[in-house]
Amino acid sequence: MNIEEISPAEALRRQRSGVVLIDVRESHERATGFAEGARGIAKAELEAQPQVELPALDAEVMLICQSGRRSLQAAQVLREAGYVRVASVEGGTTRWIAEGLPLTRPEGDFDFYDRYSRHLRLPEVGEGGQRRLQAARVAMVGAGGLGSPAAYYLAAAGVGTLVLADDDVVDRSNLQRQILHTEDRIGVAKVESARIALSALNPTVTIEAFPERITADNVERLIADADVVIDGADNFPVRYLLNDACVKLGKPLVYGAVHRFEGQVSVFDAGRHRGQAPCYRCLFPEPPPPEAAPNCSEAGVLGVLPGVIGMLQATEAVKLILGIGDSLAGRLLNFDALAMKFRETRLSADPECPVCAAGREFPGYIDYVQFCAG
């Protein structure tokens, strides 16, 4: 059965004579604008119960979508259900707008639907998932090499609040890899420079900037309300401190590290899954000697490498907030930039771990600098 396809101008003419026009796109698509006077009924809903919206089988009805494809499919379903006077608008809303025909933009949060339209099209995210991202709070320690790409992508994704903690200032040597910062902000506190950049990208995101060094005295204040914590630190004392605090408070910790041409990522979620998921101490019971793990200023680092690792950290954070996919909990992902290879190592919880072993009381914070100094 051939479905009649009509131009937007003809649809408008018929609509003004009393014919019903139905926009079969999803609600988030209609939120960016729809043909004036059209009724919004999602394709799946219309196909499932057409008699609710169109009780008369001989009723004349026109369907419109974004491009004309879905409306044509829906029209075919209606014809098979017995509706004999169904037409589809060729070119859909895209052509309707291009031809300058009257459009309605609904009241409400246009920025939300427009900005996150590509997320909203994903069934795994949708409006519900995007609202979860909007309500989420991510704490990030470090606004440097790893924090830059991670924060950029989380802000772009619409994470509602980003808490950034870093006591450093922007230096010219940072600009080779720390993409949050710019030449004209050399000497500015990194968290302030980050706030400027992230707010310019997405002004709907709240940036809480703390120009502070993370210590046992302030770590809980900074991460207590976070849904996810991201480790963008470049030293072992902070990594151990963050791990212990996240175990104590039951926070998932997204770990990342880079060295010369290699990087690694994991999720340590022992605080919520005692005895099942490992923590950072299960992987590294003791820190390596300083000479075995020099920092970037000593050993150097390929500028693009933190971008890869930070982006992966942001991906894991988004998945944890949305509750989708398989996180890297129990897995360590290693990346070799020179060979362009990823390698995965399985991790298990240490039943004797001094911090995360099942049933073990939190032992308290220690002098992490002294611990890492051996």
Residue 208 inside a domain? The answer is yes
Q: Beta strands of the chain (E only): which ranges?
A: 4-6, 20-23, 34-35, 39-40, 61-64, 86-89, 103-104, 137-141, 161-165, 206-210, 228-231, 253-259, 262-268, 331-336, 341-346
Among residues 152, 331, 147, 311, the alpha carbon closest in space to that of 242 is found at 147
pLDDT tens across 223-275, in order? 999 999 999 998 999 999 999 999 999 999 999 999 999 999 999 999 999 98
DSSP-assigned states of every residue in 40-85 = E--HHHHHH-HHHH---TT--EEEE-SSSHHHHHHHHHHHHTT--S
- Looking at residue 216, its amino acid is A
Q: Are 89 and 202 found together in one domain?
A: no
Distance CA(1)–CA(83), nearest Å, equals: 12
* Last residue in a domain, options 56, 75, 108: 108
Q: Check residue 107 and give its pLDDT.
A: 72
Q: Are 200 and 91 found together in one domain?
A: no
Q: Check residue 299 and give its pLDDT.
A: 77
Distance CA(260)–CA(263), nearest Å, equals: 8
* Last residue in a domain, options 59, 88, 108: 108
Distance CA(247)–CA(224), nearest Å, equals: 12
Residue 114 inside a domain? The answer is no
Q: Check residue 55 and give its pLDDT.
A: 81
Domain containing residue 57: CATH number: 3.40.250.10
Q: Check residue 28 and give its pLDDT.
A: 82
pLDDT tens across 32-57, in order? 789 999 999 999 999 999 988 888 89
Q: Are 205 and 242 found together in one domain?
A: yes
Q: Are 138 and 154 in contact (CB under 8 A)?
A: yes
Q: Which domain holds residue 250?
A: 119-372
Structurally, the chain folds into a number of domains equal to: 2
Structure tokens at 275: 């005895």
* Last residue in a domain, options 79, 108, 137: 108
Domain containing residue 245: CATH number: 3.40.50.720
Q: Check residue 290 and give its pLDDT.
A: 63
Q: Are 315 and 355 found together in one domain?
A: yes
Residue 135 inside a domain? The answer is yes
Q: Are 332 and 194 found together in one domain?
A: yes
Q: Check residue 373 and give its pLDDT.
A: 80
Mean pLDDT of 167-171: 97
Q: Are 79 and 211 found together in one domain?
A: no
Let me know how long the chain is.
Answer: 374
Q: Is the pLDDT assigned to residue 207 strictly greater than 60?
A: yes
Q: Check residue 123 and give its pLDDT.
A: 87
- The separation between CA 65 and the C-alpha centre of its own chain, rounded to angstroms, equals 28
Angle, helix 190-201 to helix 147-157, in steps of 10 degrees:
30
Q: Are 203 and 99 found together in one domain?
A: no
Q: Check residue 153 and give its pLDDT.
A: 98
Residue 113 inside a domain? The answer is no
Q: Is the pLDDT assigned to residue 148 strictly greater than 80?
A: yes
Q: Are 62 and 131 in contact (CB under 8 A)?
A: no
pLDDT tens across 70-127, in order? 999 999 999 999 999 999 999 999 999 999 999 988 776 888 988 998 998 898 999 8
Among residues 82, 68, 63, the alpha carbon closest in space to that of 11 is found at 63
Mean pLDDT of the chain: 94
Mean pLDDT of 175-200: 97
Q: Check residue 294 and give its pLDDT.
A: 61
Q: Are 269 and 355 found together in one domain?
A: yes
Distance CA(133)–CA(161), nearest Å, equals: 9
Q: Is the pLDDT assigned to residue 336 strictly greater than 80?
A: yes
Mind telling me the catalytic residues? Answer: 296
Q: Is the pLDDT assigned to residue 135 strictly greater than 70?
A: yes
With cut-offs at 50, 70 and 90, classify the pLDDT of residue 374.
Answer: low
Mean pLDDT of 20-29: 92
**Bigger pLDDT: 140 vs 291:** 140
Q: Are 232 and 328 found together in one domain?
A: yes
Q: Are 196 and 313 found together in one domain?
A: yes
Q: Is the pLDDT assigned to residue 366 strictly greater than 70?
A: yes
pLDDT tens across 271-326, in order? 999 989 999 999 999 887 666 556 666 678 999 999 999 999 999 999 999 999 99
Q: Are 140 and 275 found together in one domain?
A: yes
With cut-offs at 50, 70 and 90, classify the pLDDT of residue 1.
Answer: low
Q: Are 226 and 271 found together in one domain?
A: yes
